[in-house]
Amino acid sequence: MHMKSSMRWLALLPVAVMAAAVACRDDTVAPQLTPSDAPQRVLTGSITDEYTAGTPVHGAIFTTTPDGDVVNGNTKYTQKIEVYLDGGPRNANSQAAGLPDGLYVFQITDPPGKLLLSKDPARCRVVQVDGGVIKGTVAVASIPGQDPAAADVWGGSGSTKNNPCHVEDAPEGAAGASGQHDTNADTELGGGTTVQMMPFFDTPNNGGVYKAWITPLKAYLEKGGNLNTQTAGVYSSSPRTLIGYAPDPGFKNPGRNFVKTDNFKVVENPPFIRISKILDGAPYTGWPVTVYELIEGEWVGAGFRPTVATFAIPLGTDVQLLACEAILAGSAPVSATVGGVNAPRVTGGTPAVPTTDGQGHELFCVAVPGTASATTIDVVFTNASPDARISISPLDDTNGIGEPHVLTALVQQDDKKAANTGGGDAVTGFGPAPNGTLVTLSLTNSNGATATFVGGNTCTTTSGTCTVTINSPTAGTVVIHATTTFSVNGVSLTRSTGPGLATAVGDDARKIYSAGSLSWVKIDAATPPRYLAGATFRVRRTHDRFGAAVSTPDLSVTDNVAPDANSADGQFLVAGLPLGRYCIKETAAPAGYLLDPTEQCGDLVSTLNLSIASPNGSANPFVNSLEGRMTGGSGKIEITLPNNGGTLTISTGFTIHCDITLSNNIEINWPGNRWHLDKPIKTATCLDDPNVIPDQPDAPFDTFLGTAEGALNGQAISRISFTFVDGDGSPGGKANDRVSLTIWNTQGQVVLSFTNLPIKGNLQAHEDQPHK
Average pLDDT over residues 515-524: 83
Domain assignment present for residue 161? The answer is yes
Domain assignment present for residue 348? The answer is yes
pLDDT over 70 percentage in the chain = 81
Q: Residue 408: pLDDT above 80? A: yes
Residue ranges with strand state E in 578-625: 580-588, 599-601, 622-624
CA distance 452 to 471: 6
Same domain for 289 and 301? yes
Of 738, 733, 727, the C-alpha closest to 688 is 727
Tell me the longest C-alpha to C-alpha distance in the chain. 177
Last residue of a domain, one of 496, 514, 532: 514
Give the per-residue pLDDT at 598.
81
Instruction: Write the CATH number for 437.
Output: 2.60.40.10
Q: Residue 22: pLDDT above 50? A: no
Same domain for 533 and 681? no
Last residue of a domain, one of 479, 514, 549: 514
Strands 309-312 and 272-279, by their bridges, are antiparallel
* Alpha-carbon 628 to chain mean position: 80
Domain assignment present for residue 524? The answer is yes
Q: Residue 21: pLDDT above 80? A: no
Give the per-residue pLDDT at 620.
63
Same domain for 108 and 250? yes
Average pLDDT over residues 601-625: 49
Window from 272-276, 327-331, 394-398, 723-727 with minimum mean pLDDT? 327-331
CA distance 160 to 235: 20
Same domain for 479 and 520? no
Domain assignment present for residue 249? The answer is yes
CB 58 within 8 Å of CB 99: yes
Question: Residue 547 CB: number of other CB atoms within 10 A?
Answer: 10
CB 623 within 8 Å of CB 523: yes
728 vs 716, more confident: 716
Q: What is the mean pLDDT of the chain?
A: 81
Count Cα neighbours of 681 within 13 Å in the Cβ-side half-sphere. 23
Give the per-residue pLDDT at 402.
92
Domain encompassing residue 359:
272-384
Q: Residue 453: pLDDT above 90? A: yes
Give the per-residue pLDDT at 8.
34
65 vs 648, more confident: 648
CA distance 724 to 649: 14
Same domain for 499 and 521? no
pLDDT confidence of 46, banded at 50, 70, 90?
confident
Q: Write the pLDDT tens digit of every residue in 138-154.
A: 999 899 888 878 888 88
Q: Residue 337: pLDDT above 80? A: yes
10 vs 174, more confident: 174
Q: Residue 509: pLDDT above 90? A: yes
Domain assignment present for residue 565? The answer is yes
C-alpha to C-alpha distances, 352 to 30, 36, 300, 359, 685, nearest whole angstrom: 15, 32, 16, 18, 104
Domain assignment present for residue 772? The answer is no
Secondary structure string (H, E, C) spanning 667-685: EEEECCEEEEECCCCCEEE
Same domain for 654 and 712? yes
pLDDT confidence of 524, banded at 50, 70, 90?
confident
Domain assignment present for residue 53? The answer is no
Q: What is the DSSP string of 583-594?
A: EEEEEEPPTTBP
Give the per-residue pLDDT at 239.
62
Please provide residue 387's backbone torsions phi and psi, each rounded to the nearest 5 degrees. Answer: -140, 160
Give the per-residue pLDDT at 145.
84
Give the per-residue pLDDT at 448.
94
Average pLDDT over residues 326-346: 89
CB 751 within 8 Å of CB 673: yes
CA distance 80 to 202: 9
Which residues contact residue 345 at a Cβ distance below 8 angstroms, ignoring those fewer than 6 apart? 333, 336, 364, 365, 366, 420, 421, 422
Q: Most confidently modeled of 115-119, 187-191, 312-316?
A: 115-119
Give the per-residue pLDDT at 488.
87
Q: Residue 12: pLDDT above 50? A: no
CB 378 within 8 Å of CB 336: no
Same domain for 286 and 359? yes
Please provide residue 703's backbone torsions phi and psi, each rounded to the nearest 5 degrees. Answer: -130, 135
Same domain for 540 and 460? no
Domain assignment present for residue 428? The answer is yes
Average pLDDT over residues 706-716: 93
Q: What is the DSSP string of 411-449?
A: EEEE----GGGSS--SS-S-EEPPTT-EEEEEEEEETT-
Average pLDDT over residues 526-539: 85
Q: Residue 605: pLDDT above 90? A: no
Helix or strand run (H / E) with residue 453: strand 452-453
Q: Residue 211: pLDDT above 90? A: yes
Q: Residue 286: pLDDT above 80? A: yes
* Alpha-carbon 11 to chain mean position: 44
Same domain for 243 and 113? yes
Give the per-residue pLDDT at 276.
92
Q: Which residues pair with 681 in a beta bridge?
A: none
Give the per-residue pLDDT at 704.
93
Give the per-residue pLDDT at 67.
81
Give the per-residue pLDDT at 85.
93
pLDDT confidence of 254, banded at 50, 70, 90?
low
Last residue of a domain, one of 332, 365, 384: 384
Q: Residue 201: pLDDT above 50? A: yes
Give the per-residue pLDDT at 394.
92
* Alpha-carbon 73 to chain mean position: 55
Same domain for 189 and 248? yes
CA distance 59 to 27: 32
Average pLDDT over residues 299-305: 62
> Total domain count for the chain?
5
Q: Write the pLDDT tens digit of every residue in 467-508.
A: 999 999 999 999 999 999 999 888 899 999 987 665 556 889
Q: Write the pLDDT tens digit of every residue in 368-380.
A: 887 767 788 999 9
Same domain for 410 and 509? yes
Is the link from the previous residue into 121 a cis peptide, with omega within 30 of 0? no
CA distance 496 to 762: 86
Q: Write the pLDDT tens digit of every residue in 653-700.
A: 899 998 887 889 999 999 999 999 988 888 888 888 878 877 667 788
pLDDT confidence of 427, banded at 50, 70, 90?
low
Give the per-residue pLDDT at 303.
59
Q: Residue 227: pLDDT above 60? A: yes
Q: Most confidently modeled of 348-362, 510-524, 667-681?
A: 667-681
Which residues contact residue 482 at a Cβ distance below 8 angstroms, ignoring those fewer than 6 apart? 390, 392, 409, 439, 440, 441, 496, 497, 506, 508, 509
Of 112, 111, 110, 109, the C-alpha closest to 125 is 109
Same domain for 349 and 453? no
CA distance 472 to 464: 27
